[in-house]
Every structure is written in C-alpha cells, then in structure tokens.
Chains A and B, each alone.
Chain A
Amino acid sequence: MTIFTREKVLGIAVLLVISICIFILLGSISPAISFFVLFLIPLYFMKPLPVFASKTDYLGHYIFVAICTFIFIFLITPVLIIIPLSFNAEPYFTFTQGMLSFDPSAFSTRWYEDIIYNGMVDPNGVKDWWNDMWNNAQWIRSARNSFFIATMSAVIATILGTIAALGLSRSEMPYRALITSLLISPMIVPLVITASGMFFFYSSINLAKTFTGLILAHVTLGIPFVIITVTATLSGFDRNLIKASQSLGAHSWTTFRRVIMPLIMPGMISGALFAFITSLDEIVAVIFLADVEQRTIPRQMFSGIREQISPTILAVASVLVLISIILLTVMELLRRRSERLRGVTPG
C-alpha cells in the first residue's frame, strides 16, 4: 500500500498540530514526541476509506481506530505483562531496578522451578524423584485436581444440560419460562450466596471437602452456559429432520445420536468449553468447599497472593497463557487448512 496517500498526509498534519499544542501546554518536548510516535503507528496500518467518504468520516474513522487500538491494548497488556514479571529474582510483584536496566542477575527462573519443587519432600534427590513430584509437589497436584474436576464437571454439565435443552426447545414444553429461569439461576445468583449456601448444606450432608461435592458445585455453576448455548443452537434446528428420521424408522435414541447430535455438536462443544473454563478458573466455591487435598490452581494462586506472596503464580499463569496461545493458534491454523482443503477462499 502506498504510504503517503492524501488522507494519511492529512492525518499526520493533524497529529503534528496536536503534538505542538501538547508541547506548548506542558512545556516539555518529550510528551509531545511520544504522543506523535504513538499515534503514528495505527495511522500506518489503516486501510484507505472508500472514495465517497467525507472529511468527518475520516475524522470519525481515525478516532474509531484509535479507540479500538486502545481497548485491545487495555485487554491484552495485563496478560502479557505477567510473563516478564515471572522472571523476577525477588519474591515481589514488581519490576525491580535491576530488571528495568536489564541486569541479568535480576532475572531468574526460580519460580518455574518452584512449580515443580514446592511441596516435594526431597527436591534434589534422584531416587523416587518422579514419584515425589507427582504426589507431593503442590502445584502439580493442584494442576491434576484442576483438570480432573474441570473435565468431570464439563462432561456432566454437558450431558445434563443437553438433555434439558432438548426438552426446553420443544414448542410444547410447559412452564418453559419458569424452568429456564430456574436452570439459568446459578449464573444470576451472586456467587458468594451460592458458595456459602453450598458450604452449609454440603457440610451437613458430609459432602464438603470431597471431590464429589466440588464437582457438583462446579456442575451447578456450569449448567447455565451449556443451557444457553445448546438452546441457541437448537433454536436454529430444523424440526422436520427429526420427523424425517422417525418416518424412516429410527428409534429416538438413534435419531438423537445420528441426526440431532452431529448438528448441535458446535453448541455442545461451545457450552462444554465454557463450563470447563468456568470450573478451571473458579475460586470462590473452592475457597468455601475444598480441603487441601482438593486444591485447584486458582486456590493455590489465592494462597500465593494472600498467605505467602509468591510469584510462582505468575510462572504458572505464564505457562497457562502459553498453552492458551498455542491452542488458539493451532485451532486457527487448522481452520485455515480445512478451508484450503475445501477450496473455499478464506473469508
């Protein structure tokens, strides 16, 4: 693309004027220069507007792009900032002087090592190291618990939620609004009320401090997501397909398995993913309901902020962020590959 279209020259001129105003107002050159450079960058990447766009359209467009850039930076900065913070040699959540001047001794990977060694009986031993780590390392155990609980809750929530959504989406469903409200209510009721209620109730039936209790709590919290996504998918579902399948002699279960499920699978997976992530990130119910043996990653992080400030949580978070980035990139690459295979030009 050409760099110096007429519109871009106009934009640079406007930026220059504003920078000079800043210089006059604040009295020093550095804020003016920094403002100019900062806003030059999105200007460079903008596509030209259509020929019939007016001057106000241009102004509006630039402002719009600037706002969007700011919001995206706002969203991503805290997530990215934890990565350099996790290499801090000192056990605090700040950039030390050494780090800012890129002094190599101010950086260390001790927190990544702490993920594995924390809680181990003999971190430096050779014999039984794997056993020791797998059973005793606190973070490893939290990770195991987290994934176990999240998987189980997502699976149970999806199964129960899909069955209920099938019933809810039928037009002849009685009391639909009432039951839908009931099923969505775990999302509506503030979490502290749900968690404390469950704390009392599960304690009285001996379910507190067990994996079962925690999984049940997370299933309850994940159900609304599954219901919403599956009913949304089912709303676009053609009922005639069911009738066609039944007219061809299929049993209800066969109809569900071969006709309905494949078509609502995107909604089911969507809901399952939401339920999985909700459970993975859930902290309040875990604080109320979990024992030290059922500790999940967020609970361990909470400990790392309150009871002992430990940047290990930043190291764990960096690992999780990295995994998420890889996952998202892989999914996007696969999507593009499947489009290429199907011969569809990427949209």
Chain B
Amino acid sequence: MPLTDRAGIFFLKENKMNKVISKALLTSAVSVAVVAGSVQAASITAVSWGGAYTKSQVEAYHKPWSAASGNTVVSEDYSGGLAEVKAQVEAGNVTWNLVDVELSDAVRGCDEGLFETIDASALPNGADGSSAADDFLPGTVTECAVGNIVWSTIFAYDGSKMSGVETMADFFDTAKFPGKRGLRKGPKPNLEMALMADGVPASEVYGLMNTEAGIQRAFDKLDTIRDSVIWWEAGAQPPQLLADGEVAMTTAYNGRIFNAVAAEGKPFVIVWDGQVWDLDLWVIPKGASNMAETLDFINFSTGTQALADQASWISYGPVRKSSAALVGSYHNQPDLDMAGHMPTAPENFKNALQNDFEFWADNQDQLNERFNAWLAK
C-alpha cells in the first residue's frame, strides 16, 4: 500500500492520539486561516525592479516620505514590461499606484492609453532655485511620466583574474582575453554594443541600425563570440556569473556590479567604454486610486534631495542637474565617493550611447523574432 494511503488509514483510526492530533490540526488550520485573512491598511503600491535598486528606493523615497506624510508605501517587484498594467487597466481593476518603467515602456504605454497624464508644471523647483523645466535633464519628463534615474548597461570583469581590458572591442576579442562572455538574452542592447565594438562611432549606430546591412553587421559581430556566450535574463544574474567564475566578462546593469563591489567587496571592474544608457521613470496606471497621495509621492521622490539620496545607495545617476552637487558617498562607507561611479560622470561618459526608444518601439518585436531565430540556429 503506498505511503499516502497509509497516511489516510492512520488519520482514520479512532484513537486518543488521533483525536488530539486532529483537534490540533483543526485549530491551527482555523487560526492560520483567520490570521491570514486579516486585512492590511490602505496605502500606495510602488512597483519596481527588485534587489539593490528597490532597496535604494525604499531607503531614499519610501521611508522618508512615509515618515513625513503618514501614509505607507508597499513595495512590489516586477521584471519589466507592460503586461500587468495593461491587464489591470483593461479590466478596470488597477491595484498598482506607481510603476518604475524604462523610457520605451513609458512612451508606448502613454500612446496606448495605459497611463494617467501627469502635469509637469506641478513638479517642485530644484534645490538651487531653478525651475523644474530647467532642472530635469532633457527628455526625462514626458506627458505621462516623470524620470528618476539614469542607468546604464556596461560590461564588467573580475579584476583579480585579468587586466588590461579597456574598450568594447576587447569584450568581443576572445583571442586576447579568453573565457566566456555574459550577454543579456535579447537584441537590446547587444546589437548596439556589437556595432560599437566593430568600430562604429556612437553617433552613427542607430542610423546604421535602420538599414538591413547594419543589422546584419551587428549579428555577424555577435556570431564571432556566439559559442562563448552565457545568456542572462535577470539583473541579478551577471554578478552571480562573475562570482562563480562562469564568465570572464559580462554585460550588466552598472548599479548591480557596483553593489557587488561596494557591499560585498568583490573585485569586479566596470568598463564604461561603449555604455548604453537609458532612463527610468515613474508612471501611474490609468484608473489607479489614491491619485493625490501618489502625485505627492512623485513630487517628493523626484525632488533634488531624494534623488541625491538614492545615489548614495546605488550608482544610478539622478535626472536633476541640481542633485549632482548633493551626491555624496556610499551610505555606509564614507570614503567611497559615489560621483565617480555614475554613468553620467564625465570620465565615464566618453563613448556613451543613449538608447533610442523610438527605434526600439518600432522594431522591438521584429528584432526579437530575428534574434530568437538566430539564437536557435
């Protein structure tokens, strides 16, 4: 008789121990049900990307704002994309109040009616007195979205295992620097990086990518290292791959690598040459509740001080010019100055490319299919 049947017979028999056990089970089941069903107080739900990035937001935005306003912020993780927002808005049952999205998602969602419009004139002035319109970097405030950080896809290597890696071309040079490479699974931003490694200056990359020849050239360049690539999908994987020694070099989000270095003391080195930078913005799903509190939160969290504060937890650049002066050191290491680790720091910004959201909004689907087909061969 199988083990599970025996369990059944055991539960069936009427003896004293059974009675005690069944009573205990019943009371614990009921108490669990009762306690689990207890309702939490209303608050705003802020959705972000998880890990060290969410932690920086919790410390720099959620906690100070909750303390000041008396409301609570519930933090939820997601891995990007508009599917959830679209489902909620279509159903008319929106539970998310605030979502941290990439620029391409912000524009696309706004065009498709998924977000509420935000009145940019209500944003507070910078701490240095400049108006919000002047203080925010160009392109960081749109019809439906208010920017918060500048982040970048870079590549990194383990400084204790190799040295002399300087440019994006070195990433694609498996002869000079043997070992596996980590790349994000998808065409973005690998195609741009491939072209830059092939010698295309940053200003010409997207012009070239609008042609079939350009795309083919990018795929050909990727073909040269194709056999040594380990494909990652989640932001937390590249530091793991480097720590395991699975890869010699990997692309990654700069904040995650910085955290591995600062918080865990890993000897990783970031190479800024050929970085592809992008923005993250706050958006409000259409039909969300608690609009007044949510807008108040946005005003607070995109204020000069809050943006400078988040920079002390993770190395993502504030989108307000006035925040640059207030950026200090890492939150628990006073001699680790954050300014030099920002994507926008002058010494890191020499060969940088801004992600072209229009290009990707148009071509994402098609290039994704092509990439998957290429990967499958």
Contact = CB atoms under 8 A, between A and B. Distances in A.
Q: Do chains A and B touch in the complex (CB under 8 A)?
A: yes
Interface of A: 90-94, 134-135, 144-145, 147-148, 151-152, 199-200, 203-206, 208-209, 211, 262, 265-270, 273-274, 291-293, 303, 305-309, 328, 331, 334-335, 338
B264 A90 contact: yes
B10 interface: yes
B236 A306 contact: yes
B8 A269 contact: yes
Contacts of B240: 92-93, 309
A230 B293 CA distance: 53
Interface in B218-253: 233-237, 239-240, 243-244
A93 B264 CA distance: 14
Interface in B58-107: 74-77, 79, 87-88, 90-93, 95
Contact of B88 (A203, A267, A305, A308): A203
A154 to B, nearest CB: 10
Contacts of B11: 265, 269
A121 B272 CA distance: 37
B133 interface: no
A274 B3 CA distance: 12
A94 B4 contact: no
Nearest to B51: A308
Given A270-B7, A306-B79, 6 more contacts: A134-B35, A135-B40, A200-B87, A203-B91, A266-B7, A267-B5
Interface of B: 1-13, 29, 32-33, 35-37, 40, 45, 49-52, 54, 74-77, 79, 87-88, 90-93, 95, 233-237, 239-240, 243-244, 264
A266 B7 CA distance: 7
* Secondary structure call for the A interface: helix
Contacts of B36: 144-145, 147-148
A266 B76 CA distance: 42
A269 B234 contact: no
Nearest to A148: B36
A162 to B, nearest CB: 13
Contacts of A267: 5, 8
Nearest to A205: B91
A269 B88 contact: no
B243 to A, nearest CB: 5
Contacts of A90: 243, 264
Contacts of A262: 12
